[in-house]
Structure 1
Amino acid sequence: MTEDANSWTLDPDRALPAEPTARAVAREIYAASGALPIVSMHGHVDVDLFLDNQPFANASELLVIPDHYLVRMLVSQGMTPADLGVQTRDGTPFETDPREIWRRFCQNWKLFRGTPTRYWLEHEFAVVFGAPAPPSAQNADELYDFFLETLARDEFRPRALLDRFNVEVLATTDSALSDLAAHRKLAELDGGQRIVPTFRPDSLLQINHRSWADDVARLSEVSGIDAGDFDSFLQALRQRRDVFIAAGARATDHGHLSADTTELEPSQARRIYAAALRGEADDADAAAFAGGMLFEMARMSAEDGLVMQLHPGVLRNHNSAVRQRYGADAGFDIPVQIEFTRALQPLLNSFGMNPDFRMIAFTTDETVYSRELAPLAGAYPALRLGAPWWFLDSPEQMRRFRESAVETAGFYNTSGFVDDTRALASIPARHDLSRRVDAGFLARLVTEGRLDLAEAVETAVDLAYNLPLLAYAQRA
C-alpha cells in the first residue's frame, strides 16, 4: 500500500455520546468494560472452521461472502448474491474469482455509510487486521494483497483469532441431528469446552418444514429410538438433548414465526403427528404443533437445564426465487409484528416461576420491548430479555432498547449482548459497539444524577461479561 502503515486510526470515542460531559463519563465506564473477555453465546460460525483451523484464503472468503448483512446491502443496490461469490444451489454460475468479488465490495464502500455494518467492518479492518486504509475502488487490489499476506500468518488462523479476540466462550448453532463430532474433537484439543454447541430443533418441530419427514427419519437413526409415534418422538428429542449437554451445550434455540406456546392435549399432539407422517396435516395443524412443541421444549428445559432461546417474528426466505437459487440463509428474512403477552402465557404460567427453568426472548420488533417483553421479564423470574440482535444490532436501536426495557425490567433481567453472527471477524466489533453504547447510556444516567459512577462501572462490567455468563449458566 502507498499509505503509511499506521495512517488509518479510528476515532477512540466512536459511538460514545457527543455531549462533552457525558462523553467524559462514558470514556471512564468504557475503560472498565471495553477489554473484558467476550462471552458469545448465540452465533452461527461453523464449528468445522475451528476444527480444520486452516488459514483463510483471502479477504473475500473471510469478510464478504459469509456476511449476509454486507451481501444484502449490495444486493439491494442491484447486484446478485452470485456476483458476490455466494454459491448457487441450482447449478447457475456464480463468481469464483475472490479478487473480483473484493473489487465489487470496495467499489461500493460508500453504501455502508451510517450502517452498523460500516462500524463492524472498520473495526475489523483497522483494529483486528491493521489495514492501512479504508476500502475504495482505487486501492482494492492493494488492500486485497495486504489481506493475502496478513491472513497467511499463523496468528490469523481461526482458533488463534479467538485468542486475539479474547473470546472466553463461543456457542455455535447446531442441528438437533448433528453428531457433534467436531465439538468433541475440539474439546480434546483445547482441554475444555470453549466452543460449545446449541441445540436447534426447528426442522423437527415444524411439520410444514420441507425436510420434516426426512429429518424425523434421521432423528430415529441418530437417537436409536424409532420416532414412529409422538411419544417416541419426544423420547428421541430428549436423547438428543442429553447428547448436546454432554458436549457442553448450554442452550436451545428456536426460530419460529409465532411466539405461541399453547400446550397440546396429548391426544391432539398424537393425532397431528400421525397425520404429518402420512402427509395429511394442514396449516392449522402445523401452527398448533409448533406452539405445542415450544411448550414441550420448555418442559424439557425445566428438566435438563438447557436455557431456552426464542426469537420469533421473522418471515424466513421472503423471496422464494432467491431461496431456491441460494439456499435457506439467503432468501431475505424480514421482520413481522409479533405478540408475546398472550402467546407466552401458557409457557410462563407453567414454568415462569420455576427456578429450574430459564428462557431468553429476542425479537426484531423493537416496539414490543416496552409494551410486552419488559413487563413480562420484570415479573417472571425465569424470563430474560435478549439484547438487540440482527436488524436491531445498531447503535440507535441499542440505545432505544435500553430506554424501552430498563425502566421496567431493569438491567439484570437482560442477558448481555448477543452477536448472532456468521462472520467470525465481526464478533469483537459487535461486542465493542454494544459496550460503547451501554457506556453512553450509563453515562447519561450518571450525568442526570440517577446513578453514581461506581454503580455505572459495575453495571457496565456486568452487562458485558457477568450477565451473559449468568444467563447461560450450566445447571450445577
Structure 2
Amino acid sequence: MKKFIHDDFLLETDYAKELYHNYAKNQPIIDFHCHLPANEIAANRSFTNMTQIWVEGDHYKWRAMRALGIEERYITGNATDEEKFQKWAETVPYALRNPLYHWTHMELSRYFEMDKILSPKTADQIYGACNEKLRSSDFSTQNLLRRMNVEVVCTTDDPLDNLSDHAKLDNSDFSTKVLPTFRPDGLINIEKRGFTDYLKRLSEITEIDVTDFESLKEAIGQRIDFFHAHGCRLSDHGLSHAFGETFTPDEINRIIQLSLKGKAISGKEVAQYKSAVMHSLGVFYAKKNWVMQLHLGPIRDNNQAVLSKIGINAGVDSIGDYQQAEQLASFLNQLNNSDSLPKTILYNSNPSDNEVFATMAGNFTGEGIKSKVQFGAAWWFLDQKDGIEDQLDILSNMGLLSCSVGMLTDSRSFLSFPRHEYYRRILCNLLGNDLKSGLLPNDMEWIGQIIKDITYNNAKAFFQFPSVVKKEGVKA
C-alpha cells in the first residue's frame, strides 16, 4: 500500500516532480519569521513526550480540538500529557481537508519516520515510538533545526528584551544563525492597559526619561541600535490595519502626556499616535537597511471568556474585514516621500484583500532591489493549499512571482519546518501544471532557477543577514 506522505506527495505531473526533486527539495531554509523561543534553542532543550513538543502552545491544534467539542482540560487544562495526546489523536481523523491533516502526517514522517495515520487506534503506538525517539539527543531543539537544514531562524522579540539567549547562541558553535526580530507592540498600543508601565520600563533600560515624542524616539533608536548589534535585520508588526494619519509633533507630545497622566485618549488620537510611531520606526528601519514586516487584518482574542481563562494566543482569533487600502497607501507614501521607506513585506489575513495587497506592493519599488515591497506568503488562516495557490496566482498575475522571498513558518513549534516543504511542493506543482498545459516553455533549467530563487536565493539577498554578529560596546 502506497504511503500517504510519499516522495511525490502533491506533485501531479512529471514536470512538478522534476522541479521539486532537482531544484527545491534540498534548498536550505531561511525562516525569517517565527515565534520559536530563543531560550529553548540556547538551552538546546529536549522534550519528554510528544505533547510537550507538538500540542503545547499550538493554537491551531487547540482550535480544531475545541471545534470537535473536546473539554478544555484536555487542551490547555490539567489532563495528563498522554490524555492530551489521545484527544489530539481523536481529533485528527475529523480534520480531513484541514491543513492540520497534511502537516500532522508530514511532521510524523519527516521527523520520526512514522508513516501510520494518526487516529485513536494508532495513538498508543505512535506516542510510544515517538517518545522513545525524543529521548535521543538527535531530537534536541538545535538538532531538530540542523536536521531540517535550517540556515537562519528569526525569532520575535520585544524591544525591552536583553537578548541574552541570542548572545549565548552567537558565542556557541551552533551553525544555524538565530537572529532577533524587533516586535514593538508595547510601544505602539497606547490604548492597551500597561502602556504607561511599558514606557517606564523603556526609560529605565535606556536611561532616557520618556516624556514626549522626541525622548520616545531617542529611546526607540537606542533599542534599535542594540538589536542591530545583535544581528537583527527585521522588524515585525501585528496590526489590524496600517496607520497613515497626518500628525504634528505637538499633537503627539500632547497625546503621550495625556496617556502618562492616565487621561482618556480618543480614537482619532490613538490613530495619530500609532501613525507617528510607525512612521518614525519606518525611518529608523530604512537607515539600518532592515526589512519591515506588516501582518495586517486579523481580529484577535474574540472570545473573552477563553481570553480571561487562558490568555492571548489561545486560538480565538479570526479574519477581520477592515478597510486596508487607503491607510496602507498613506503610510507607505509618507515614508516614500521622504526617501525613508524600508524594504517591506505585506502579509494579509483576509483573502478578499489579496489583490489589494499585491497591487499595493507594486506601487513602491527601489532601484537595484527585487520587489522592494513584497506581497508576503499566505499567512495564518490562509497558509493552506488553496490559500498558498491563491497567493501564488495573484502575485503572478499582478506582480513578479520570480522576485518573491518565499515561505516562513510563523510557528511556535520546533516540528513545523515541513511547512516549507509543503509550500515548495505546491509551488512546483503549480509551475509543473503550467508546463504540462503549454502555458510555460519547456525550459526546465530557467524555471528551476526561478524555483531556487523563490525558495532561497531571493530571501538571502533581500535580508542581507550579517555574516558575523558584533556586540562589543553595546549597552543592554
- Normalised by the length of structure 1, the TM-score is 0.91
Q: 8 Å contact 2:5–2:115 — kept in the other structure?
A: no
Matches within 5 A, 1:279-358: 279-280=262-263, 281-330=265-314, 332-352=316-336, 354=339, 357-358=342-343
Tell me, in whole angstroms, the C-alpha distance in 1 between the residues paired with 2:103 and 2:248.
Answer: 47
Could you report, residue by residue, the CA deviation over 1:146-195 in whole angstroms, capped at 9, with x for unpaired residues?
Answer: 12210010111000111101000001001111110000001101367700
Q: 8 Å contact 2:403–2:454 — kept in the other structure?
A: no
Which of 79, 95, 101 is matched with 2:78 structurally? 95
Q: 8 Å contact 1:220–1:226 — kept in the other structure?
A: yes
Alignment correspondent of 1:376 = 360
Tell me, in whole angstroms, the C-alpha distance in 2 between the residues paired with 1:284 and 1:80.
Answer: 42
Percent identical pairs in the alignment equals 27
Paired amino acid for 2:363 = A
Residue 344 of structure 1 aligns to a residue whose secondary structure is helix
Paired amino acid for 2:325 = T
Q: 8 Å contact 2:241–2:328 — kept in the other structure?
A: no
**Offset at residue 203 of structure 1 (A):** 1.7
Aligned length: 456
Q: Does 1:64 align with 2:55?
A: yes
Tell me, in whole angstroms, the C-alpha distance in 2 between the residues paired with 1:143 and 1:433.
Answer: 22
Residue 362 of structure 1 aligns to a residue whose secondary structure is strand
Alignment correspondent of 1:468 = 459
Tell me, in whole angstroms, the C-alpha distance in 2 between the residues paired with 1:107 and 1:333.
Answer: 23
Tell me, in whole angstroms, the C-alpha distance in 1 between the residues paired with 2:323 and 2:211.
Answer: 34
Tell me, in whole angstroms, the C-alpha distance in 1 between the residues paired with 2:361 and 2:399.
Answer: 6
Tell me, in whole angstroms, the C-alpha distance in 2 between the residues paired with 1:334 and 1:230.
Answer: 34
Q: 8 Å contact 1:305–1:475 — kept in the other structure?
A: no
Paired amino acid for 1:46 = P
Paired amino acid for 1:337 = D
Which of 9, 31, 35 is matched with 1:14 structurally? 9
**How has the CA–CA distance of structure 1 residues 306 and 405 changed in structure 2, closer, same or farther, with 3 Å as cutoff?**
same
Q: 8 Å contact 2:320–2:350 — kept in the other structure?
A: yes
Q: Does 1:392 align with 2:377?
A: no
Tell me, in whole angstroms, the C-alpha distance in 2 between the residues paired with 1:212 and 1:376.
Answer: 32
Structure 1 segments unaligned to the other structure (5+ residues): 1-5, 18-22, 87-93
**How has the CA–CA distance of structure 1 residues 135 and 304 changed in structure 2, closer, same or farther, with 3 Å as cutoff?**
same
Alignment correspondent of 1:39 = 30
Alignment correspondent of 1:90 = none
Paired amino acid for 1:202 = D
Mean Cα deviation higher: 42-51 or 372-381:
372-381
Structure 2 segments unaligned to the other structure (5+ residues): 366-371, 468-476
Which of 400, 420, 441 is matched with 1:410 structurally? 400
Tell me, in whole angstroms, the C-alpha distance in 2 between the residues paired with 1:297 and 1:384.
Answer: 18
Q: 8 Å contact 1:40–1:170 — kept in the other structure?
A: yes
Matches within 5 A, 1:43-442: 43-84=34-75, 86=76, 94-190=77-173, 194-280=177-263, 281-330=265-314, 332-352=316-336, 354=339, 357-370=342-355, 372-381=356-365, 382-427=372-417, 429-442=418-431
- Normalised by the length of structure 2, the TM-score is 0.91
**Offset at residue 288 of structure 1 (A):** 2.3
**How has the CA–CA distance of structure 1 residues 436 and 246 changed in structure 2, closer, same or farther, with 3 Å as cutoff?**
same
Tell me, in whole angstroms, the C-alpha distance in 1 between the residues paired with 2:16 and 2:122.
Answer: 35
Alignment correspondent of 1:20 = none
Could you report, residue by residue, the CA deviation over 1:423-460 in whole angstroms, capped at 9, with x for unpaired residues?
Answer: 11011x10001001110121233232334322221111
Residue 108 of structure 1 aligns to a residue whose secondary structure is helix
Could you report, residue by residue, the CA deviation over 1:7-41 in whole angstroms, capped at 9, with x for unpaired residues?
Answer: 95623222223xxxxx1100111111112111000
**Offset at residue 338 of structure 1 (A):** 3.5
**Offset at residue 111 of structure 1 (A):** 2.0
Q: 8 Å contact 2:59–2:315 — kept in the other structure?
A: no
Following TM superposition, the consecutive aligned residue runs of length 4 or more in structure 1 with deviations greater than 6 angstroms are none
Residue 44 of structure 1 aligns to a residue whose secondary structure is coil
**Offset at residue 469 of structure 1 (A):** 1.8
**How has the CA–CA distance of structure 1 residues 355 and 289 changed in structure 2, closer, same or farther, with 3 Å as cutoff?**
closer
Residue 420 of structure 1 aligns to a residue whose secondary structure is coil
